[in-house]
Structure 1
């Protein structure tokens, strides 16, 4: 009861005893690169894009990347238990494997599952995130049916040495720490950071059938990133970047000691050359590695399995600046290899490659903005695919703008969907999609608002069935036919005065299978967020309300997962120029809710009311 009382006080705490300090208003003209693969103002982007800045990331210290993403428009998440368990992200009702995730340009989707281990990427390493919600295969190739999430790790700015770090502790015996440094030596800029996370966690399953599964399932993660950029001549730079994350999560499966190790590694080399005043070349080589090592502990025996995916990526992009826009031409190559090791035996199971040529244009003239993209992919397994995108925007007034966009996309089945034992189907066809969307936007000094309508038609949609599978297959992958996802997203932010900012978003959608009219698994038809921020003097306070309607845990729509609403709050105090103290409370009302279920009797657990305290140091 005392804990709930403390959390409630944090949520209701409006501090107004100090002299007011102006609250930072939303940036109306940010520069993004994900929407077109070239630098572009958010005011002229025709696609549906969101930027998450470092301030918003810092508010969720002690939380996960999935917690942060589900506060954004059109984003849903679900997990198989507490911290460290598998976290899945969906954009506008699409599948979690119909999404490309980049970290500093490195593709980190698993080649076996097609999903991304969001649970293994700590917020402490992240400086900024760009979310593109719309098909983007004409820019990025296979998998971008739902969109692209691009994560940028922390980088120093300016020529001063920057040292920073955080220590934190919270509920469920959770302890974190991270430290980093950025510095400059003549024409060389470099930096590095490390992050550690340790929690005893909660039981992954709620009401499990075995007493042994009622134990707490802990999670440990150790991660680091580094970069270096050398400007060896004016307009010519060579950059290196590296990311590594090693996580160990325990899970329930009838025996004490069951755990999964998930290892991610990504590194890249980038050469940028200003060939002329208008013509720039960017040559990149990136390598992404994803390894999953599972240990099932049984009486007198241990069965281990090791699955590893490597993705080699080469991209050579040319940008030519025109008087009213930019022409982009690129060549991309992606090589995917899957390695399996079971009890000492190691084999290269599968591999494939994809070559592509991309042509794009972004332009602005008078009140008009336009974006065009065309891509030809040749996949060594599935042949040729041509995808395109066309976007147009018109400024009705300096504050009002309308946009319309079309995009086609495709996704080659993952290696698991094709070849996994007692699951895979080598006869699967690639998914194809066509998306139409339109938006009305208002950008004033105090008020920003956007309404986006979307209609995404997906053909050859690949779905996991639990019945009607071949003999010996507990579940199987099949092309389920056509999917139509219609919906609308509302977003707005309002500066109430110098101290108060109110923002929110709401998504209403209908992601259904045409043949059965059933909703897709674990997709809500209505979900959204409301955020209230307050700042005065050295204090700042934020409260978030997150809500979702009912979802179904199965393709037949027989197992319903109830709707829920969560209340979270953050309170921060700037001790001095370098030190900051912050407290965060999650699920303040101690809501008992479910994001995913094992079956009709066993649910995956979620965390109750909890708190997290952190002390931050930042010296420029």
Structure 2
């Protein structure tokens, strides 16, 4: 699709009688059980045909989580690998796919590095998050590249009360210090939320590798602590001009300094920034439109013992126009266009340092008695590799109001990164996108106060990009077959709230060189249970997490053992607006690794004093 076609499509859509579309850039319905990421429209968790999880602000504070990885660890299909403690490189493998096969959004804006291909999950501060929506399964037919394993969308803070100031101070193991402050203002027609946070830790020795020759791990030996600092701010607001027109805008910035162990570089200064806004127009009860604009910046300057080495900055501009048309009761058609422009600013000379991606998509959601149908298709035009078409279909059947069967099929793809295409002396400009095909069946129900679900899936990925020994460059030489079974449950008993999940995964590398080997750093089995109870002004909780063995390398010669951890937490509301919280993680002080030679935190403590007005 060229620029003229894109502009003509936008003009055609704008000429329609339109109204405020419910799209992935805003939470128009302030209910915990409504998600927008799965379909780019507001759908309740019970009605969506996708496998989803929602983490709210209340969950974040109840769990006393210190990172996004901590929140997501152990959810169905999620496996985490980290190169050390706070702020160190963190990879998330969703349903066994690669870490860059997960699309990350912040308030509807696509984030991530155009050079390396992944999102800096470790640098997104939980203090600026209102909620997280995790959607498992392919979503390229709605979002384009990267959504092979699924989509994770983060929404920044949004206060709900007329006037709500808050702040917190915390201190914990490794001289970890945290200070947060924020305020929310809400009127009849407008709202505003502003928040800031400072997080600093001395850390611990991230890697105990060996220097070359004969090196391992980080290929160096630096037995010192590896500090991490993150300073963040967010601003989010909106105004309702009339019943038919509403606008909102958001801004998130996190910057800091990270020290780690490495043979070439061992520290970095980083910036993660996302800014965007949307305009929603409602012309009638059946026609809606949403226009979203945004920019995401991923910046990193690398150093070796304080000496500047390199700069890798990427900028991603996003624009999206979506129209939603209600054809009849429970019949919704959505059409839209997306525009993305990636630019690279680096002192490394890339042959190409920009690209443009235009996409057109359509979706139908229909409900016919006990039957639910979702159909979607998308066409992407990338200035680097040309056109790519994806599609998805899902069907659900309600045996009873409390028992549903679902089945789905979807295709997805991942575009090559600038490093894979153009990095000097390494890139291959002839690379094609990685392709996938996924099938899934599921059964979800409620009985006797117990919520449960079982989902089985298989994903086949072709043309995986890997180093090709015959050309000494990246090539579309690998393929994978990923099978999994996920189970979830939740219930309340004797005032205890219990939620849990279990995942069994078989992620095989089907490429000729590694036929049947397990893909590295994915745990074959994981389980998580959260238990909480409140006793008046007191609250207590525990999280148990277990992960089976995994391999650290493609040839399956370096084995990482399974492990289990237990976290305990408590809080006491000693005054109407004051809470003191305490948490002990890894109570048994278990030693374990999720990446070979990289240590994980032992037993840690953290205490927080929190004030919340309003």
Same fold (TM over 0.5): yes
With over 3 angstroms needed to count, the CA separation of the structure-2 counterparts of 1:55 and 1:29, relative to structure 1, is closer
Shift of 1:370: 1.5
Give the Cα–Cα distance (whole angstroms) in 1 for the partners of residues 519 and 209 of structure 2: 26
Shift of 1:208: 4.8
1:307 to 306, 312, 330: 312
Partner of 2:603: 609
Q: Residue by residue, what CA displacement relative to the aligned partner does 1:240-281 show, whole Å, maximum 9, x if unpaired? A: 1111010211011369x9311121111012111002221111
Partner of 1:558: 557
2:498 to 498, 502, 506: 502
1:198 to 194, 197, 200: 200
With over 3 angstroms needed to count, the CA separation of the structure-2 counterparts of 1:297 and 1:29, relative to structure 1, is closer
Instruction: Say whether 1:285 aligns with 2:293.
Output: yes
Partner of 1:3: none
Shift of 1:212: 6.3
Give the Cα–Cα distance (whole angstroms) in 2 for the partners of residues 28 and 525 of structure 1: 35
Is this contact kept in 2: 1:373–1:390, CA < 8 A? yes
With over 3 angstroms needed to count, the CA separation of the structure-2 counterparts of 1:541 and 1:464, relative to structure 1, is farther
How is 1:404-483 mapped onto 2 (pairs within 5 angstroms)?
A: 404-444=407-447, 446-463=449-466, 468=469, 477-483=474-480
Q: Residue by residue, what CA displacement relative to the aligned partner does 1:537-595 show, whole Å, maximum 9, x if unpaired? A: 11111111111111111111111111111111111112222111111111111111011
Shift of 1:99: 0.9
Partner of 1:151: 154
Q: Secondary structure at the match of 2:70?
A: helix
Give the Cα–Cα distance (whole angstroms) in 1 for the partners of residues 383 and 44 of structure 2: 36
CA RMSD of aligned residues (A): 2.0
Is this contact kept in 2: 1:61–1:124, CA < 8 A? no
Is this contact kept in 2: 1:164–1:180, CA < 8 A? yes
1:296 to 304, 316, 323: 304
Partner of 2:260: 251
Q: Secondary structure at the match of 1:275?
A: strand
Give the Cα–Cα distance (whole angstroms) in 1 for the partners of residues 383 and 256 of structure 2: 33
1:171 to 167, 170, 173: 173
Q: TM-score, normalised by structure 2?
A: 0.90
With over 3 angstroms needed to count, the CA separation of the structure-2 counterparts of 1:445 and 1:261, relative to structure 1, is farther
Moved >3 Å (runs of 4+): 59-62, 207-212, 346-349, 468-471
How is 1:49-448 mapped onto 2 (pairs within 5 angstroms)?
A: 49-61=52-64, 63-158=66-161, 160-185=162-187, 187-206=189-208, 208-209=210-211, 213-253=222-262, 258-297=266-305, 302-321=307-326, 322-341=328-347, 349-444=352-447, 446-448=449-451
Give the Cα–Cα distance (whole angstroms) in 2 for the partners of residues 547 and 495 of structure 1: 22
Q: Residue by residue, what CA displacement relative to the aligned partner does 1:489-520 show, whole Å, maximum 9, x if unpaired? A: 011112122x2122211111111112311111
Q: Secondary structure at the match of 1:201?
A: coil
Q: Which runs of 5 or more structure 1 residues have no equivalent in the other structure?
A: 1-26, 598-602
Partner of 1:512: 508
Shift of 1:54: 1.6
Partner of 1:587: 586
Range that drifts further, 576-585 or 60-69: 60-69
Shift of 1:400: 0.8
Give the Cα–Cα distance (whole angstroms) in 2 for the partners of residues 224 and 268 of structure 1: 15
Give the Cα–Cα distance (whole angstroms) in 1 for the partners of residues 464 and 367 of structure 2: 36
Q: TM-score, normalised by structure 1?
A: 0.89
Shift of 1:325: 2.6
Q: Secondary structure at the match of 1:102?
A: strand
Give the Cα–Cα distance (whole angstroms) in 1 for the partners of residues 311 and 390 of structure 2: 35
Q: Residue by residue, what CA displacement relative to the aligned partner does 1:171-190 show, whole Å, maximum 9, x if unpaired? A: 00000011111113553311
Give the Cα–Cα distance (whole angstroms) in 1 for the partners of residues 96 and 289 of structure 2: 36
1:42 to 35, 41, 45: 45
Equivalent residues, number: 574
Is this contact kept in 1: 2:257–2:267, CA < 8 A? yes
Is this contact kept in 2: 1:84–1:247, CA < 8 A? no
Shift of 1:206: 2.5
Q: Secondary structure at the match of 1:396?
A: strand
Q: Residue by residue, what CA displacement relative to the aligned partner does 1:152-195 show, whole Å, maximum 9, x if unpaired? A: 1110225x111111110000000001111111355331121001
Q: Secondary structure at the match of 1:45?
A: coil
Shift of 1:488: 0.5
Is this contact kept in 2: 1:504–1:529, CA < 8 A? yes
Give the Cα–Cα distance (whole angstroms) in 1 for the partners of residues 395 and 220 of structure 2: 59
Shift of 1:113: 1.2
